Structure 1
Amino acid sequence: MFNKKYTLPVLLTFLMTAGAAQGQYIIKQADTEAALYNYAKAIPLYEKAYSRKPTANAARGLADSYRKMNNYQQADAWYEKLLAMPDHTAADEVHYAQILISNGKHAAARTILDAYLLKMPGDKVAENLRQGCDSTIQWQSVSPVGGDFENLQYLNSEWSDWSTAFNSGRIVFASDRPYDSLRHNPIFNTSNIKKKYYGWTGNSYLHLYEGVAEDSNSTRLLPRTINGDYHSANASYTADGQKVYYAITDLKKKGHTFLGREGTYTLHVEIMEQAWDTARNTWKQASPFPYNGIFNYAVGDPWISPDGKTLYFVADYGEKGLGGTDIYYSRRDDNGQWLEPVNMGPEINTSGNERTPVFDKEGTFYFATDGRPGIGGLDIFKAVKQQDHWTCRNMGLPMNSAQDDLGPAPDNTTLYFSSNRPGGKGSDDIYRFTPYRVLLFNLYGTIVDRKTGKPLHDAAIKLVHKETGASANTLTAADGTYHFRLDSLSSYDLNVTKAGYDTASGLNVTTRGLTTSANLRQDASLGTPELITGTGTPDLVNTFKLQNIYFDLAKWDIKPTSLPELNRLVTILNNNRGWKVEIATHTDARSSESYNMKLSQKRAESIVSYLISKGIARERLVAKGYGESRLINRCADGVSCSEEEHQANRRTEFTILER
């Protein structure tokens, strides 16, 4: 995984006289190995130093080394010892919280983060981790999506296996299992780099393999034209299979001479492109992506669009990014040249690390990140673009776990991904998940002006998932329309706001109980409280009409179509807690005066009862039925009027009695 950095720390023999450790402290030896990412060598040295003298430096060296090697159990034990020492640092506390989360100890991690944030308020990393602890408890209370979840036993090994891609019906992946390739014509013969040993993990370097999920005998190493002596991972192929992009590390000189100085530097991961030579039936010589920076920054995790015209990748371009590794894309122009990379922006990238970008056939974007609240470590998210804006959602259980989950690879309805969760065959394993039944739900609607019926553009629509609390946002188009994709077995709250209009809130949308894919619809109309100008009202300024409040003939039960407007009134009253209001209902002049008076009183009382059920205090509400005593037009008894004119008299109002 990327926290194994794919780096090659080059240490030349010119360091040997200065760094042979003769007469130096063991802790300095350990620090030197750790600085070169040789954690497998650093750990026994730190252990020896700690046994001689238990210091915070030694404990931190062990805790950090185990953390970077993804040995969470050992890291947990050493961070616990470190935090018991008075000279531990604030960074140690955050790292300990991260390890506790990776070990599924979210409550303990939250305690550490609460204490840390009291000392370091506003720390975004710590705030995300704490929010992730809270949301994990919520996610765990919701049943995970049902489906076939399996470890690909035939591909995985006892080592690290991950970074899934597909080519010609075969699965291509990276693994640090032992390999038999030999290194020829070394660039340096004075380097301490071992051709079969990666000091960070103590295993072999990552190499690319291919195989079939159900046949362990099918796995084979990709050719030497792709696999070099050091890291090769993250393959991605064009749809026609004629080009492949992948990440590598390799030895390269930095400058022309090393005489007279210590030649220590880091070689970062870079992206290579290779084309298939049909005539020779082999891959051509690889060419580097022009925006690599092997001596300065890491560039990796490539994903090429099926047509080969857009390359998505992650890079740590320093101050150009938002922090850690960000996701970028580069387009190929008509001359075949790659254009300046574009950062995907804060709707995707965070101050943390974004990893492994990929699109499915429908245009849904998948990636991994540790910069958003999640279940633990790297979590897999999916993002949908609507009206030039991305909406991201954590994929939850079972795709994510308390450990690192990354490398999503969609294949029709199946999602392949990699995880180092407990219970696997090795360090990192490849998994796949296929939902039992894929149901597709879309929500459409139109937002209009309540008075004119004209569509409202740029109205803000917020969709909140009731079970997870996740939200999605969009704006209406010029014709007042909007669209969301919905999950199955889910319920949502829909809220609509626009400057100068009242809010439409509490609109309910659900896919529960639906057994087939469907397009759902939820329209809404926005308006401002309408001033009533009828005669006989003592305080016209304080009386407002409620729209769309309907009752069946001779009944006073509240109809479902009236709830959005009544919920709007609930919001108004909650926002103005000093108000005491009268709820008044009116009838037209048909039927007797006494009947209309009794009917309108019962209807007013029904509305007041509903408001009380929504938490509005009874003493703030007065129910008043006026029957036909306050007509607002000419339609009295015996006057011939249209149905529309009678409808104008059948109204519900609220009057502010006290402010």
Structure 2
Amino acid sequence: MIASRKLIPLLLLAAAGYSQHASAQYAYTEAYKAYQLYNFEKAKPLFEKAYHKNPSAKAARGAADSYRLTKDYKQAATWYAHLWETRQFTPEDELHYAGILMNNQQYTDALTHLDHYLQANPDNKLAQQMKAGCLLGNQPQAMIVKGTLENMAALNSPYSDWSITRINEKYVFASDRPYKDIRKSAFFEHEGIKKKMYTWTGNSYLHLYETTGDSALIKPLEKRSVNGDYHSSNATYNANGSTMFLAITTFEKRASSVLGKDSILTMNIGIKEINRDDKERWMKAPKFPYNATLQYSLGDPWVNPSGDTLYFTSNQGPEHQGGTDIYYTVKKDEKWGEPVNMGMSINTPGNERTPAFDTEGNFLFASDGHPGLGGLDIFKAVYKSHQWLVTNAGTPVNSSHDDFAPAALDSSLYFASNREGGKGSDDIYRFRPAPVPVKPVFVISGIVTDRKTNRPLPEVQITLRNRITQTTIKIITDKDGHYQQPVDSGKYELSFHKTKYITIARDTLNTTTVNTRRNQQMEQPQLNKPIKIDNIYFDLGKSEIRPDAAKELDKLVVILQDNPTWDIELGAHTDSRSNDAYNMGLSQRRAAATVAYLVSKGISARRLTAKGYGETRLLNKCANGVKCSEEEHLRNRRTEFTILKF
């Protein structure tokens, strides 16, 4: 990856009048000068030498920071421990130490240092998020996402390989493997920058390569127009591949009189746009307007398919939260608009890196400022209710090391990681999520017919109510009387409604198989013929409408609403037990209570007549003095309605 992932780094260096031949007795001074020039490979042994001569905090700190910045977590932990022993550490040292312990999966020890740090700095958001990450690390089972992870061995090398994308059936990625087309510096060129080696890592500069996936066919992308003398990475294309953006570093001269003697010239990362001409050649586009390589860095570009919105990261800009933030800019009238910070739900006091979107519109990025397992973790953000909801991508995508540069390609998540067990410094991985179990689709279907003619009934409204969730679905039968509705599994109540037709009985069924069929018959009622309403019960000796009875009467409400010209009589009946006069009065009160309930639901009282029949219309032999079962008596205790007028 381009230098340190803590910041988009300062990359190209030029020193005036600095000698590379410091004397041995000044090991620390020589180490520090190398460190200032980001020559960490040279600085490490010199800091160690200085410490062994004199175990000072500054020498231990120099070694610890050098190993941290080059991602050697085990050595960094050793040297931060030495620094801790000197008792001359700073709060920043302790925060770095906690981060390195997380990289080494020593979450309990990291928590100890974070708690100590937060005692003095209770409002530090980065430390709070790191602590939350330690708690995640101590619960590994909760982070597992099912799927298969593979190292893309054909693409990877012993060096750093990352920032993969795909265009025209080819993979394009960045690597600092030895570059076959190293250009030599001119004899009198004095910028002091080595074109053969990037001193931060000791490897080549990053360049872009392409391949179909066969390691034998990996080759550098087009030369001078894409791969320059220094870093080229993070290739991103619009949908048709006519426009390409990449992160680059280029050398810009600046007068030594401005810099002063022994000063360091630092060149930051910028963004480059190039376009294909009609002969399929890459041609430079106008300079990206927000590059400022002498002041700050812009990198990690990602362009949307239409090519009019560019996402990138920067260590400076509007509403900057800290570290590197993610911004976007929109092109209008061929001009890129002012950069927009993606806000506090995405950006943190830490570093947000490598933005991208998947095909479903989810925002993918890497961050060491959101709660993670150590270093950079990959996160997914979903935009809901005018805000981004951020979740950790879990394991095995994330590890205690740096996991970054997500790319959603061919239904898989590609990313880079320097986790243990890889082929090199940073390797490209592919994660294939486990197939989501297909949720069974339960279907309720059937046909509604006329009871007398057996002909299908069209335009019957059917209401399906889930007995558990109480949600309802309404559908209508087609011209052939058929209906069909996918539903979740569970218990459903079905009711059927059609003008001038009735079916009082409610149909209840369980969707335990994929297809549940339920046919239904409806009938046209006759004048002055009583129709029983099922499940209308009253407490013994009482006339109040019970809740279970109210649900049944609601069906009658719907029928009366569907048939506004009907006038009906509500008749209540008792069994023969108790004396005749009492039963007559009780049944009248129950009939009146039933009418009152219907009126409360909006049915006009002029359409309703209450009639109590007591025990005068028994349906069986169970008259006074006749011994009958409870079931036989129950048959007589009923509520009926009779249509008096259509």
Q: Structure 1 length as normaliser, TM-score? A: 0.66
Q: Is 1:640 matched with 2:592? A: yes
Which residue pairs with 1:332 in the alignment?
331
Task: Give the direction of change, closer, same or farther, for the CA distance of 1:118–1:636 in structure 2 (3 Å limit).
Answer: farther
> Is contact 2:318–2:340 with CA below 8 Å preserved after alignment?
no
Amino acid aligned to 1:103: N
Amino acid aligned to 1:88: F
Which residue pairs with 1:291 in the alignment?
290
Which residue pairs with 1:114 in the alignment?
115
> Is contact 2:259–2:265 with CA below 8 Å preserved after alignment?
no
> Is contact 2:12–2:249 with CA below 8 Å preserved after alignment?
no
Task: Give the direction of change, closer, same or farther, for the CA distance of 1:187–1:235 in structure 2 (3 Å limit).
Answer: farther
Q: Deviations over 1:465-512 (max 9, x none)?
A: xxxxxxxxxxxxxxxxxxxxxxxxxxxxxxxxxxxxxxxxxx99xxxx
Task: Give the direction of change, closer, same or farther, for the CA distance of 1:382–1:520 in structure 2 (3 Å limit).
Answer: farther
- Whole-angstrom distance in 1 between the partners of 2:361 and 2:18: 51
> Is contact 1:231–1:249 with CA below 8 Å preserved after alignment?
yes
Please give the secondary structure, in 1, of the residue aligned with 2:250.
coil
Please give the secondary structure, in 1, of the residue aligned with 2:233.
strand
- Whole-angstrom distance in 1 between the partners of 2:244 and 2:589: 84
How far does residue 258 in structure 1 lie from its aligned partner after superposition?
A: 5.7
Q: Which moved more, 1:23-32 or 1:244-253?
A: 23-32
- Whole-angstrom distance in 2 between the partners of 1:42 and 1:249: 23
Which residue pairs with 2:176 in the alignment?
176
Which aligned pairs between 1:51-62 and structure 2 lie closer than 5 A?
A: 51-62=52-63
Amino acid aligned to 1:428: D
> Is contact 2:173–2:233 with CA below 8 Å preserved after alignment?
yes
Task: Give the direction of change, closer, same or farther, for the CA distance of 1:156–1:644 in structure 2 (3 Å limit).
Answer: farther
> Is contact 2:165–2:409 with CA below 8 Å preserved after alignment?
no
Q: Which moved more, 1:245-254 or 1:150-159?
A: 245-254
Task: Give the direction of change, closer, same or farther, for the CA distance of 1:319–1:54 in structure 2 (3 Å limit).
Answer: farther
Task: Give the direction of change, closer, same or farther, for the CA distance of 1:359–1:143 in structure 2 (3 Å limit).
Answer: closer
- Whole-angstrom distance in 1 between the partners of 2:596 and 2:375: 63
> Is contact 1:9–1:264 with CA below 8 Å preserved after alignment?
no
Amino acid aligned to 2:199: G
> Is contact 1:273–1:286 with CA below 8 Å preserved after alignment?
yes
Which aligned pairs between 1:544-555 and structure 2 lie closer than 5 A?
A: none
Amino acid aligned to 2:30: Q
> Is contact 2:303–2:309 with CA below 8 Å preserved after alignment?
yes
Q: Deviations over 1:581-611 (max 9, x none)?
A: xxxxxxx992215999xx99xxxxxxxxxxx
Please give the secondary structure, in 1, of the residue aligned with 2:400.
coil
Task: Give the direction of change, closer, same or farther, for the CA distance of 1:435–1:291 in structure 2 (3 Å limit).
Answer: same
Amino acid aligned to 1:194: K
> Is contact 1:6–1:231 with CA below 8 Å preserved after alignment?
no
Amino acid aligned to 1:641: A
How far does residue 322 in structure 1 lie from its aligned partner after superposition?
A: 1.0
Q: Deviations over 1:620-656 (max 9, x none)?
A: xxxxxxxxxxxxxx999545123883999xxxxxxxx
Which residue pairs with 1:391 in the alignment?
389
How far does residue 142 in structure 1 lie from its aligned partner after superposition?
A: 3.0
Q: Deviations over 1:410-461 (max 9, x none)?
A: 01421100111111111110000112314689xxxxxxxxxxxxxxxxxxxx
- Whole-angstrom distance in 2 between the partners of 1:263 and 1:338: 34
Amino acid aligned to 1:7: L
How far does residue 14 in structure 1 lie from its aligned partner after superposition?
A: 3.0
> Is contact 1:34–1:65 with CA below 8 Å preserved after alignment?
yes
Amino acid aligned to 2:148: D
Task: Give the direction of change, closer, same or farther, for the CA distance of 1:645–1:159 in structure 2 (3 Å limit).
Answer: same
Which residue pairs with 2:352 in the alignment?
354
Q: Is 1:342 matched with 2:340? A: yes
Q: Deviations over 1:286-315 (max 9, x none)?
A: 543110110111100000111111111001
> Is contact 2:543–2:593 with CA below 8 Å preserved after alignment?
no
- Whole-angstrom distance in 2 between the partners of 1:519 and 1:397: 34
> Is contact 2:318–2:341 with CA below 8 Å preserved after alignment?
no
Task: Give the direction of change, closer, same or farther, for the CA distance of 1:425–1:181 in structure 2 (3 Å limit).
Answer: same
Which residue pairs with 1:194 in the alignment?
194
> Is contact 1:589–1:636 with CA below 8 Å preserved after alignment?
no
- Whole-angstrom distance in 2 between the partners of 1:319 and 1:211: 38
Which residue pairs with 2:156 in the alignment?
156
> Is contact 2:184–2:195 with CA below 8 Å preserved after alignment?
no
Task: Give the direction of change, closer, same or farther, for the CA distance of 1:300–1:161 in structure 2 (3 Å limit).
Answer: same
- Whole-angstrom distance in 2 between the partners of 1:11 and 1:22: 22
Task: Give the direction of change, closer, same or farther, for the CA distance of 1:187–1:391 in structure 2 (3 Å limit).
Answer: farther
How far does residue 360 in structure 1 lie from its aligned partner after superposition?
A: 1.4
**Structure 1 alignment gaps of length 5 or more:** 442-506, 509-517, 522-552, 554-587, 601-633, 649-659
Q: Identity over aligned residues, as a percent?
A: 44
Please give the secondary structure, in 1, of the residue aligned with 2:218.
strand
Which residue pairs with 1:302 in the alignment?
301
Q: Is 1:246 matched with 2:198? A: no
Task: Give the direction of change, closer, same or farther, for the CA distance of 1:90–1:379 in structure 2 (3 Å limit).
Answer: same
**Structure 2 alignment gaps of length 5 or more:** 440-468, 471-485, 490-505, 507-535, 549-585, 601-646
Q: Is 1:591 matched with 2:543? A: no
Q: Is 1:165 matched with 2:165? A: yes
Which residue pairs with 1:529 in the alignment?
none
Any runs of at least 4 consecutive aligned residues in structure 1 with deviations exceeding 6 A, and if so which? Answer: 518-521
How far does residue 359 in structure 1 lie from its aligned partner after superposition?
A: 0.9
Which aligned pairs between 1:2-151 and structure 2 lie closer than 5 A?
A: 2=2, 3=4, 5-16=8-19, 21=22, 25-138=26-139, 140-142=140-142, 144-151=144-151
Amino acid aligned to 2:432: T
Task: Give the direction of change, closer, same or farther, for the CA distance of 1:176–1:519 in structure 2 (3 Å limit).
Answer: farther
Please give the secondary structure, in 2, of the residue aligned with 1:332.
strand
Task: Give the direction of change, closer, same or farther, for the CA distance of 1:217–1:25 in structure 2 (3 Å limit).
Answer: same
Which aligned pairs between 1:431-446 and structure 2 lie closer than 5 A?
A: 431-438=429-436
Amino acid aligned to 1:12: A
Q: Which residue, out of 372, 375, 382, partners 2:373? A: 375
Task: Give the direction of change, closer, same or farther, for the CA distance of 1:220–1:520 in structure 2 (3 Å limit).
Answer: farther
Which residue pairs with 1:277 in the alignment?
277
Task: Give the direction of change, closer, same or farther, for the CA distance of 1:136–1:593 in structure 2 (3 Å limit).
Answer: farther
How far does residue 337 in structure 1 lie from its aligned partner after superposition?
A: 1.1
Which aligned pairs between 1:527-566 and structure 2 lie closer than 5 A?
A: none
State the number of aligned residues: 475
Task: Give the direction of change, closer, same or farther, for the CA distance of 1:439–1:218 in structure 2 (3 Å limit).
Answer: farther
Task: Give the direction of change, closer, same or farther, for the CA distance of 1:646–1:82 in structure 2 (3 Å limit).
Answer: farther
Amino acid aligned to 2:540: S
How far does residue 388 in structure 1 lie from its aligned partner after superposition?
A: 2.5
> Is contact 2:245–2:303 with CA below 8 Å preserved after alignment?
yes
- Whole-angstrom distance in 1 between the partners of 2:418 and 2:347: 23
> Is contact 1:172–1:211 with CA below 8 Å preserved after alignment?
yes
- Whole-angstrom distance in 2 between the partners of 1:644 and 1:419: 73
How far does residue 108 in structure 1 lie from its aligned partner after superposition?
A: 1.3
> Higher Cα Rg: structure 1 or 2?
2
Q: Deviations over 1:55-105 (max 9, x none)?
A: 111111111000000000110111111111111111111111101101111
- Whole-angstrom distance in 1 between the partners of 2:488 and 2:391: 21
Which residue pairs with 1:407 in the alignment?
405
Which residue pairs with 2:567 in the alignment?
none
- Whole-angstrom distance in 1 between the partners of 2:591 and 2:71: 85
Please give the secondary structure, in 2, of the residue aligned with 1:418.
strand
How far does residue 50 in structure 1 lie from its aligned partner after superposition?
A: 1.1
Which residue pairs with 2:526 in the alignment?
none
Which aligned pairs between 1:609-624 and structure 2 lie closer than 5 A?
A: none
- Whole-angstrom distance in 2 between the partners of 1:262 and 1:309: 43
> Is contact 2:16–2:261 with CA below 8 Å preserved after alignment?
no
- Whole-angstrom distance in 2 between the partners of 1:234 and 1:643: 76
How far does residue 278 in structure 1 lie from its aligned partner after superposition?
A: 2.9
Root-mean-square deviation (Å): 3.4
How far does residue 255 in structure 1 lie from its aligned partner after superposition?
A: 4.0
> Is contact 1:270–1:288 with CA below 8 Å preserved after alignment?
no
Please give the secondary structure, in 2, of the residue aligned with 1:29.
helix
Please give the secondary structure, in 2, of the residue aligned with 1:368.
strand
